[in-house]
Amino acid sequence: MPELRKVALFTNEYPPNVYGGAGVHVEYLSRALAKILPVEVRCFGDQQVDEPNLKVRGYPRWDAAKEHTDPRFAGALDAFNRSLLMAKDNLDADIVHCHTWYTDMGGLLAGKLWGVPYVLTIHSLEPLRPWKVEQLGNGYHLSSWMERTAIEQAAAVIAVSKETREDVLRLFNIAPERVPVIYNGINPDEYRKTAATNALERYGVDPQRPFVLFVGRITRQKGIIHLVNAIPHLNPDLQVVLCAGAPDTPEIGREMEEGVAAVSAGRPGVIWIREMLARPDVIQFYSHATVFCCPSVYEPFGIINLEAMACETAVVASAVGGIKEVVVPEETGLLVDLQLAPGSFDPQDPQAFSAGLAAGINRVAADPQLAARFGVAGRKRVEAHFSWNAIAQQTVELYRSLL
């Protein structure tokens, strides 16, 4: 078998520009891979890192993408432009590994130009995110085309869960043997329960009172509006902490504003933190939450649940996608059924879904022993199944099989 000398990772997000699970994945995977072989990261931004086995180079935004066109097209056009720049620059890696549609086309082009295999990791799929039309306009059809074209020509497509693998095989023309499953991971040494509470106090959260926590972006995918609509059904003694920013569109931003205002009118203890928190602060919130809620309507994996579980927090989540492979019902948390309306990602009965979230949260919050048992079991599950070093080794074995 030919020697694997070096890998190049193409990604939109890389520290300090991380806003979602894909960015967290690439951050930790790159460092775990760098323990095994040299890694070069090409990413969106102005990053410059030069460590012994890890080089990082940022590619700046193409500002002209917004000129003389529908401004909603800018995201997809800018991604295409940066993918082209990533691909054309001199490459001495044996494998290119791309993350999200933003750089998938970069992998395909680099494979053509430099004669190397490219691999994609699927963190989400454009056909399963139709609400992106609100954000990208017809640019959504360009992002979908880039994703489809790259997936169907890739040497391998890594699915982050079994259900994601089924989605890939159902939606794209690709041979099953080219779609392995390698889970997301977490660093349990970093994500662990802490006694510190200064971050909670800084944002007005009473650490002596129970609270339910949400962490994520304001987007249709994350289902935060359904959690907001559940708040009137929650035990009034329960604080509600929403660490939620970066709305996808002005429309969902206004919907969030109106929803939080409505549910806060007669109910104290609803705390909306709109800024992106530093990781140590987020770990404090996870550590002291009575319940972590993940109400996503689409989630290929749900790394956010691993973060909560690693901090020994019970999870109440929607029973969709890869969440069902992370959260074990009645062992590490509760899953809430989500019946989607045919052909959409809207619950058939949104009120029933919100009520189900509230019932699960109330049940865990009312039973401290149950919450503690879920938390301890969640931590054990993270340690046993989701270490980054094991995931990096599986990924390297896949790379070698493609040379």
Beta bridge partners, 294, equal: 317
pLDDT in 10s for each residue of the chain, 403 residues: 678 999 999 999 999 998 888 999 999 999 999 999 999 999 999 999 999 999 999 999 999 999 999 999 999 999 999 999 999 999 999 999 999 999 999 999 999 999 999 999 999 898 888 878 877 888 999 999 999 999 999 999 999 999 999 999 999 999 999 999 999 999 999 999 999 999 999 999 999 999 999 999 898 889 999 999 999 999 999 999 999 988 888 899 999 999 999 999 989 999 999 998 999 999 999 999 999 999 999 888 888 999 999 999 999 999 998 999 999 999 999 999 988 777 667 788 999 999 999 999 999 999 999 999 999 999 999 998 898 988 999 999 999 999 9
Contact predicate 160/123, CB 8 Å: yes
Classify residue 365: in a domain, yes or no.
Answer: yes
Residues contacting 151, CB < 8 A, separation 6+: 104, 120, 122, 157, 168, 172, 174
Classify residue 299: in a domain, yes or no.
Answer: yes
Cα–Cα dist 228/353, whole Å: 12
User: 3-class DSSP state for residue 348?
Assistant: coil
79, 82, 148, 248 from 69: Cα distances, Å: 15, 18, 24, 20
Per this entry, what is the length of the chain? 403
Contact predicate 259/218, CB 8 Å: no
156 shares its domain with 256: no
User: 3-class DSSP state for residue 395?
Assistant: helix
Classify residue 252: in a domain, yes or no.
Answer: yes
pLDDT of residue 346: 79
DSSP H or E run through 74: helix 74-88
54 shares its domain with 150: yes
360 shares its domain with 250: yes
> Which ranges in 231-367 belong to alpha helices (H)?
250-264, 279-288, 303-310, 323-326, 350-365
Residues contacting 192, CB < 8 A, separation 6+: 283, 310, 311, 379
265 shares its domain with 147: no
* Domain limits for position 348: 198-385
- Dihedral over Cα of 99, 101, 104, 106: its sign: negative
Taking the CB of residue 245, how many other CB atoms lie within 10 A of it? 17
Q: Is the peptide bond before 180 cis (omega within 30 degrees of 0)?
A: no
Classify residue 192: in a domain, yes or no.
Answer: no
Number of structural domains, the chain? 2
217 shares its domain with 277: yes
Contact predicate 373/394, CB 8 Å: no
203 shares its domain with 76: no
- Phi (first) and psi of residue 184, to 5 degrees: -70, 165
* Angle CA 97–247–106, to nearest 5: 20
The backbone region for 100, taken as left when phi is positive above 0, alpha when psi lies in -120 to 50, beta otherwise, is left
pLDDT of residue 1: 61
Beta strands 156-159 and 118-122 are: parallel
Taking the CB of residue 237, how many other CB atoms lie within 10 A of it? 11
Classify residue 346: in a domain, yes or no.
Answer: yes
Residues contacting 329, CB < 8 A, separation 6+: 335
Q: Which residue has the tokens 């000398």?
A: 5
181 shares its domain with 210: no
Classify residue 147: in a domain, yes or no.
Answer: yes
167 shares its domain with 138: yes
Cα–Cα dist 368/220, whole Å: 31
Q: What is the number of helices (H) and of strands (E) in the chain?
A: 15, 13
Relative orientation angle of helices 139-153 and 101-114, to the nearest 10 degrees: 50
Contact predicate 118/96, CB 8 Å: yes
146 shares its domain with 217: no
Q: Which residue has the tokens 């919130």?
A: 285
CATH code for the domain in which residue 164 is found: 3.40.50.2000
Classify residue 1: in a domain, yes or no.
Answer: no
Contact predicate 22/129, CB 8 Å: no
Classify residue 126: in a domain, yes or no.
Answer: yes
Going through 134-249 in order, the beta strands assigned E by DSSP cover 156-159, 211-217, 239-245
93 shares its domain with 221: no
